[in-house]
């Protein structure tokens, strides 16, 4: 086979499972090492470079990094990456003077940003320090987007949100609150140099079953006591809604449903049931959100498909469900479904949490921005430009509802595009990622990282007592890690960015590395045509999708090759420690990702500015 090209910056990047899985490619192990050293502010700033909102994300990130974490392939539980991010935020000093400053002079380019969610804020974060005049238009009275209106304060305290948004506003970004953009054509008339649409996916799905519109409130408005989840959460956040009935049914079992059921409990509901159409394996909510809801005694009922609303004298009294049965095959797919009966469940209120759609009633066809029939805009996946030059989409507005960290990553990419657009450059001419390899050896048995394997189990976040939790809507449930928890959890990280680097010409073929490797991921074998044949020589090889097999150059004595399964390597450095000729070495891979501010690198060098 062809020897692996480790110079391809993606090779080592992919080995760092968490960083690779993170949409914004946060350098997780690097910041965990800073936390281990007590350098919380540095850890915070390193996070901020890629994910912009460490305090927010350290609490409510969707954390795609955690299911990807290597530790989860060795044992059951991944490193508590998200919790450690919060540690950096909780324990940082005042970092305001390390933030990019508002430049003394602007560059005269005016950028309009629609919606004050994480996407727009990230674009502004990247562009304002470069001199762009950024104006954010937000129809609500507070900034933050869904982070403010929908993510409840018991998960994300208001002060954490405001502080991190404040950092960006401090860079000279203008925020126009209570300012709804109602016509794209009119906005375009105003002659902005670029427009960013970060208005989210604001339309909660409805459920038009019999009886849906037959209830009436005191003023005779139809549909009383049946709420659209995201609208209801917004109205709770802005204190328009302060109470709910005793018995509440939540329809749907995604993350919105989890926030709805827990919020209901805080508004006085005594008996909350989350109604799921399918079995547990099909739930959309993250495992930890389900866990937290169940801890609060929310009942989750599976295999109930909503059929109709039940009313008495124009008042909602319950809902009828069809009880379902599913046949599931070995791969976990549903192969058939069957209705086994019907049941009525009593309730005072129903909250619908079954999804969100895009909606752009304010974008006219004349604007030249193409939307498909579901109102999803046609957007370039790399540049985020719409079909109209100079108009960009990002966050939930671009490809439908995702999460905060995706909105942030979109924001970074949009900022690069806007920067190029304003300079009249090709949007696609973006700087590729690079990788730097730094030595880590300090001496015999001494590496610049804590290489020894620690078998501690994942630390569990402590929660506020159940009795105290419901006293107020904004009692934050998670208390943060204690010193002991921090000290243990940082050691669980395997430092996957400290890479095993092999130099074939130095190898003596003595087997020392192969024997010392505690997970048996190395082997020397005659070269073969295909990967499966090479893998056969590994005693403990499982093929995991996306995990590479490293293949060295031919070895000097026998012409065999050294192979390494990247799947289970612990990055313990024992192979390098044990190698008599230092053919194996441990090097830190630094993935260099270039944001908007670095895109002019070639210009700087050329122009000597």
Ligand X SMILES: Cc1cc2nc3c(=O)[nH]c(=O)nc-3n(C[C@H](O)[C@H](O)[C@H](O)COP(=O)(O)OP(=O)(O)OC[C@H]3O[C@@H](n4cnc5c(N)ncnc54)[C@H](O)[C@@H]3O)c2cc1C
Q: Helices (DSSP H) in 238-304: which residue ranges?
A: 255-266, 287-295
Contact by Cβ (8 Å): 531, 1: yes
User: Which string of b and e fits 167-204 if b means at least 16 CB within 10 Å?
Assistant: bbbebbbebeeeeebeebeebbeeebbbbbbbbbbbbb
Q: At what angle do helices 28-36 and 40-51 cross, to 10 degrees?
A: 160
User: In this structure, what DSSP letter does residue 108 have?
Assistant: S
User: Which string of b and e fits 555-590 if b means at least 16 CB within 10 Å?
Assistant: beeeebbbbbbbbbbbbbbbbbbbbeeebbbbbbbe
- Which of ligand SF4, another protein, ligand X, none does residue 56 bind to, with CB < 5 to 8 Å depending on kind? none
By 3-state DSSP, what share of the chain in percent is helix, strand and coil, each rounded to 5?
30, 20, 45
Q: Which stretch binds ligand X (CB under 6 A): 66-74, 253-261, 315-323, 424-432?
A: 253-261
Structure tokens that stand for 350 in this block: 């129903």
Kindly compute the dihedral angle of the four CA atoms of residues 307, 313, 318, 324, in this order, to the nearest 10 degrees: -20
Write the DSSP string, 581-603. T--EEEEEEEEE---GGGTTHHH
| Single residue of 579, 586, 591, 596 touching another protein by CB under 8 A | 579
- Which of ligand X, another protein, ligand SF4, none does residue 453 bind to, with CB < 5 to 8 Å depending on kind? another protein
The 186-205 site mask, x for binding ligand X (CB under 6 A), equals ------------xxx-x---
Site for another protein in 68-127 (CB under 8 A): 73-76
- Shortest distance, CB of residue 76 to ligand SF4, whole angstroms? 13
- Which of ligand X, ligand SF4, another protein, none does residue 515 bind to, with CB < 5 to 8 Å depending on kind? another protein
The 418-447 site mask, x for binding another protein (CB under 8 A), equals ---------------------------xx-
- Which of ligand X, ligand SF4, another protein, none does residue 539 bind to, with CB < 5 to 8 Å depending on kind? another protein
Site for another protein in 487-546 (CB under 8 A): 508-512, 514-516, 518-520, 539-540, 542
- Which of ligand SF4, ligand X, another protein, none does residue 446 bind to, with CB < 5 to 8 Å depending on kind? another protein
- Shortest distance, CB of residue 508 to another protein, whole angstroms? 5
Residue 145 interacting with ligand X (CB under 6 A): yes
Residue 497 interacting with ligand X (CB under 6 A): no
- Shortest distance, CB of residue 116 to ligand X, whole angstroms? 5
Residue 261 interacting with ligand X (CB under 6 A): no
First to last CA, the chain: 47
Question: What gap in Å lies between CA 246 and CA 349, rounded to an integer?
Answer: 8
Nearer to ligand X, 313 or 381 (CB): 381
State the pairing for strand pair 441-443/446-447.
Answer: antiparallel
- Shortest distance, CB of residue 451 to another protein, whole angstroms? 8
- Shortest distance, CB of residue 236 to ligand X, whole angstroms? 11
- Shortest distance, CB of residue 500 to ligand SF4, whole angstroms? 5
Residue 561 interacting with another protein (CB under 8 A): no
| Single residue of 248, 391, 397, 490 touching ligand X by CB under 6 A | 397
Nearer to ligand X, 146 or 562 (CB): 146
Nearer to another protein, 135 or 450 (CB): 450
- Which of ligand SF4, ligand X, another protein, none does residue 11 bind to, with CB < 5 to 8 Å depending on kind? none
- Shortest distance, CB of residue 377 to ligand X, whole angstroms? 13
CA 150 to chain centre: 16
In the complex, which residues of this chain contact ligand SF4 (CB under 6 A)? Answer: 16-18, 28-29, 69-71, 78-79, 81, 493-496, 500, 516-517, 519, 521-522, 564, 569-575
Task: List the helix and strand counts (H, then E) for the chain.
Answer: 23, 23
Residue 82 interacting with ligand X (CB under 6 A): no
Nearer to ligand X, 116 or 561 (CB): 116
Nearer to another protein, 291 or 542 (CB): 542
Reference 235, options 118, 349, 113, 122; nearest CA is 349
Residue 416, CB-side half-sphere exposure with 13 Å CA sphere = 23
Contact by Cβ (8 Å): 145, 182: no
- Shortest distance, CB of residue 485 to another protein, whole angstroms? 22
Q: At what angle do helices 81-90 and 483-492 cross, to 10 degrees?
A: 130
- Which of another protein, ligand X, ligand SF4, none does residue 147 bind to, with CB < 5 to 8 Å depending on kind? ligand X
Question: What gap in Å lies between CA 317 and CA 310, rounded to an integer?
Answer: 6
Question: What gap in Å lies between CA 415 and CA 394, rounded to an integer?
Answer: 10
Question: What gap in Å lies between CA 370 and CA 377, rounded to an integer?
Answer: 6
Residue 580 interacting with another protein (CB under 8 A): yes
Q: Is 390 exposed, middle or buried (0-12, 13-18, 19+ CB in 10 A)?
A: middle
Structure tokens that stand for 589 in this block: 């891979």
- Which of ligand X, another protein, ligand SF4, none does residue 84 bind to, with CB < 5 to 8 Å depending on kind? none
Residue 574 interacting with another protein (CB under 8 A): yes
Question: What gap in Å lies between CA 247 and CA 270, rounded to an integer?
Answer: 6
User: Which parts of this chain interact with another protein (CB under 8 A)?
Assistant: 73-76, 445-446, 452-453, 455, 508-512, 514-516, 518-520, 539-540, 542, 557-558, 568, 570, 572, 574, 577-581
User: Which parts of this chain interact with ligand X (CB under 6 A)?
Assistant: 60-62, 114-120, 137-140, 145-147, 150-151, 180-181, 198-200, 202, 230, 233, 255-256, 259, 362, 395-397, 401-405, 407
């Amino acid at each position: 086979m062809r020897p692996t090209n480790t110079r391809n910056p993606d090779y080592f990047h992919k080995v760092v499972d968490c960083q690779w899985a993170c949409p914004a490619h946060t350098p997780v192990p690097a910041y965990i090492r800073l936390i281990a050293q007590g350098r919380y502010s540095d850890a915070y700033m390193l996070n901020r470079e890629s994910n912009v909102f460490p305090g927010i994300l350290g609490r409510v990130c969707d954390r795609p990094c955690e299911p990807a974490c290597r530790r989860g392939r060795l044992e059951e539980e991944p490193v508590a990456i998200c919790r450690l991010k919060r540690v950096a935020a909780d324990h940082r000093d005042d970092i305001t003077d390390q933030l990019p400053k508002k430049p003394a002079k602007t560059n005269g380019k005016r950028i309009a940003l629609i919606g004050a969610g994480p996407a727009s804020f990230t674009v502004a974060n990247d562009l304002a320090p470069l001199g762009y005049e950024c104006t954010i238009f937000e129809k609500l009275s507070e900034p933050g987007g869904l982070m403010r209106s929908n993510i409840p304060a018991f998960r994300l305290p208001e002060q954490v949100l405001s502080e991190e948004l404040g950092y960006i506003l401090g860079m000279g970004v203008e925020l126009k609150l209570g300012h709804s953009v109602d016509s794209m054509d009119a906005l375009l008339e105003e002659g902005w140099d670029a427009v960013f649409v970060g208005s989210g996916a604001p339309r909660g799905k409805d459920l038009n079953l019999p009886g849906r519109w037959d209830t009436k409130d005191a003023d005779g408005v139809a549909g009383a006591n049946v709420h659209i989840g995201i609208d209801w959460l917004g109205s709770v956040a802005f204190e328009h809604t302060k109470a709910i009935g005793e018995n509440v049914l939540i329809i749907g079992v995604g993350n919105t449903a989890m926030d709805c059921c827990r919020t209901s409990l805080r508004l006085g509901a005594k008996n909350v049931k989350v109604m799921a159409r399918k079995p547990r394996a099909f739930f959309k909510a993250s495992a930890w959100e389900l866990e937290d809801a169940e801890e609060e005694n929310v009942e989750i009922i599976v295999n109930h498909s909503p059929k109709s609303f039940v009313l008495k004298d124009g008042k909602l009294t319950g809902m009828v469900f069809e009880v379902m049965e599913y046949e599931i095959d070995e791969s976990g797919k549903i192969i058939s479904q069957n209705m086994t009966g019907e049941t009525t469940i009593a309730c005072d209120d129903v909250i619908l949490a079954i999804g969100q759609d895009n909606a752009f009633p304010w974008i006219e066809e004349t604007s030249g921005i193409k939307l498909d029939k579901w109102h999803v805009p046609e957007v370039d996946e790399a540049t985020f430009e719409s079909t109209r030059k100079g108009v960009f989409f990002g966050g939930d507005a671009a490809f439908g509802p995702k999460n905060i960290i995706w909105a942030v990553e979109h924001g970074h990419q949009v900022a690069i595009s806007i920067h190029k657009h304003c300079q009249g450059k090709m949007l696609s001419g973006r700087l590729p990622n690079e990788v730097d390899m730094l030595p880590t050896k300090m001496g015999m048995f001494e590496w610049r990282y804590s290489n020894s394997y620690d078998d501690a189990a994942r630390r569990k976040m402590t929660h506020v007592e159940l009795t105290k939790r419901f006293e107020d809507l904004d009692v934050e449930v998670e208390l943060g890690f204690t010193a002991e928890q921090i000290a243990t959890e940082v050691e669980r990280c395997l430092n996957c960015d400290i890479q095993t680097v092999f130099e074939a010409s130095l190898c003596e073929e003595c087997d020392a590395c192969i024997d010392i490797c505690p997970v048996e991921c190395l082997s020397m074998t005659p070269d073969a045509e295909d990967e499966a044949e090479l893998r056969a020589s590994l005693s403990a090889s499982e093929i995991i999708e996306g995990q590479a097999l490293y293949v060295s150059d031919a070895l000097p004595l026998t012409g065999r090759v050294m192979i390494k399964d990247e799947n289970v390597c612990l990055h313990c450095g024992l192979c390098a420690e044990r190698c008599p000729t230092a053919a194996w070495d441990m090097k830190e891979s630094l993935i260099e990702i270039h944001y908007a501010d670095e895109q002019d690198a070639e210009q700087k060098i050329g122009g000597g500015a």
